[in-house]
Structure 1
Amino acid sequence: MAKLTKKQKTLAVLDAEKAYNVDEAIALLREHASKKFDETVEVAMNLGVDPRHADQMVRGMVSLPSGTGKDVKVAVFARGDNAEKALAAGADKVGAEDLMEDMQAGNLDYDRVIATPDMMGVVGRLGKVLGPKGLMPNPKLGTVTPNVEQAVKDAKGGQVEFRVEKMGIIHTGIGKLSFKDEDIKANFKALTDAIVRAKPSGAKGKFVRKISITSTMGPGLKVDLAEVEGA
C-alpha cells in the first residue's frame, strides 16, 4: 500500500465539510505548516456572478492593513518631476519609451505597473504584452494617476488587486503564516469587506457562496460565511 503524503494525512484528519471560524482556520494552518519556508496565506471566494457579463465583473484594489509580507516590484511610466517622485517613493523602474522597449523585449518581472495619464499613448502599445498578465494600468484601479508617488507607496505598502476569474472565484494572498493572528485576521476582513462592497449591479441572489483559506502547502479550509459581513 502506498504511503500517504503529509498533505494526504492532514486531509484525512480534517472535516472537509466543516466551516471554521477564522481563528480556528489559522490555528489549523499553523499546525500543519511547512518548517522549511514562510508560507503565504491565501483566500478564495466563490461568488454568485458570471464575469462573462460586464455588469457582473468584480475587480478592485484594497490596502491590507498588515501588508502582504511580499517585496512588490513596481514599474512606473512617467517623465520629469513625476519620474523623480516615483523613484523617491521606491519604484523599481521608471521610464518612458525606454521602459516600453524593455518590456517589449520581455522584461516583465513586475507586480504592478503604474502610469501618469500623459504616458498612456506610450503604454497603450503594450496592451498585448501587459494585458494577459493583468498589468495594464487602469484609472479605475488607481494605476493611471497623476499622483504616482502615492500610487507607488500604496503598492509597496500592502495594496493588492482582486479580480474574479472565469468560474466566479477570486484568489488573493493576504500575508504570511509568520504574521500574528490578529494581522492575518485584519487582512482577511479588509479583503472580504472590499469584495462585498464591490458587488456588481448584475449580481443576483446570494453574492458570496463559499469562502476558503489555505496556505502554500496547507489544506484548504472552509470558512463560516458568518465571518463575513454582508455575505
Structure 2
Amino acid sequence: MAKQTKKQKMLAEKLDAEKLYGFDEALQTLRDLQTAKFDQTLEVAMNLGVDPRHADQQVRGMVSLPAGTGKTVKVAVFARGDNADKALEAGADKVGAEDLMEDMQAGNLDYDRVIATPDMMGVVGRLGKVLGPKGLMPNPKLGTVTPNVAQAVKDAKGGQVQYRVEKAGIIHSGIGKLSFSDDDLKANFNAFVDAVIKAKPSGAKGKYVQKISVSSSMGPGLKIDTAEVQGA
C-alpha cells in the first residue's frame, strides 16, 4: 500500500468505528484517505434481517446503476442462429452452444455474466455444478434466461449488477469508481439500496435493513446513517 500523508494519517486516527455518516461525508472521507495508485471501487454492504437458509427469506435480483460500474464486464451467451448473431452484435464476448459448454467444462470461466436463450437451457443445465458455485447460472428471474439476448447483453455491459444475500444475511456490491463524480456515486448508491429494499422477502421479520456501510477497495468501512435512506 502507498505511504499515507500526514493528513491521511490524521484522518485515519480520527475515524470513529461507531460513527454514523451521511453518504456525502463518508464518500469525502474515503476520498481523503485513498493512497492507492489505481482507481478504487466504491463498495456498499448491507446487513439484512433475514435468514437465507429459508426459501421465503432469499434476497436476489438485478439493478441497473444509472452511472454504470466503471468495470469492463465479460459476457458469455448460449444461443444459436439469429439470436447468436444478435448477441455478438450487442457486444457479447463469447457466443456458442455445445462448444461453449465444453469450453466451460474445461475450466474456461472468465466471465462476469452468462446469458442463455430458453431453448439452450438443456445444454446449460449440464453446467450446474460449474456455474452454480460461481453465481453464473442463467436464471429467468434475473433476466439472464431470455429470448431477448441482445438487450440482456447491453444491460450487463451498461452497468447492471446482480446482488444476492449471503449466509450471514449480507449483500455487497461495487457501485462505481472513486473517479466518478459525487452525484454519480450517490445516484448509484441510491439505486442499489432502493432495489434491495424493494426486494424485501415475505419471510423477513423485524427490522429489514440493519446496517449499511461503504468502503473503497483499500479503505475502511464507514457506517451509513440508515435514517437518511428512504424506506430503510
Q: TM-score, normalised by structure 2?
A: 0.95
CA deviation after TM superposition for structure 1 residue 228, in Å:
1.5
Counterpart position of 2:206: 205
Does residue 54 in structure 1 map to residue 55 in structure 2? Answer: yes
Aligned twin of 1:214: 215
Work out the CA distance in 1 between the residues paired with 2:126 and 2:11.
Answer: 48
DSSP 3-state at the match of 1:210: strand
TM-score normalised according to structure 1 size: 0.96
Structure 1 position 8, deviation (Å): 8.1
AA paired with 2:88? L
Q: How many residues matched?
A: 227
* Counterpart residue number, 1:166: 167
Residue-by-residue CA offset, 1:164-203 (whole Å, 9 max, x unaligned): 0000000100000000000000000000000000000000
CA contact (8 A) 1:10 1:219 kept: no
The aligned counterpart of 2:133 is: 132
Q: CA deviation at 1:13?
A: 1.7
Q: How does 1:69-218 map to 2 (within 5 A)?
A: 69-218=70-219
- Give the SS at the match of 1:218: coil
How many percent identity over aligned positions?
Answer: 78
How large is the RMSD of aligned CA atoms in angstroms? 1.3
Asked if structure 2 preserves the Cα contact closer than 8 Å seen for 1:58 and 1:200, the reply is: yes
Q: CA deviation at 1:219?
A: 1.1
The answer as to whether partners of 1:85 and 1:148 remain within 8 angstroms in 2 is: yes
CA deviation profile, 1:109-158 (whole Å, cap 9, x unmatched): 00000000000000000000000000000000000000000000000000
Match for residue 20 of structure 1?
21
Cα distance in structure 2, aligned partners of 1:61 and 1:194: 8
SS in 1 for 2:100: helix
Equivalent position amino acid for 1:54 in 2: A
Q: Unaligned 5+ residue runs, structure 2?
A: none
Separation of aligned partners in 2, 1:61 and 1:48: 20
Contact 1:112 1:155 in 2 (8 A): yes
Q: List structure 1 runs of 4+ shifted beyond 3 angstroms.
A: 5-11
Counterpart residue type for residue 59 of structure 1:
R
Amino acid at match of 1:175: G
Displacement of 1:35 after TM fit? Answer: 4.1
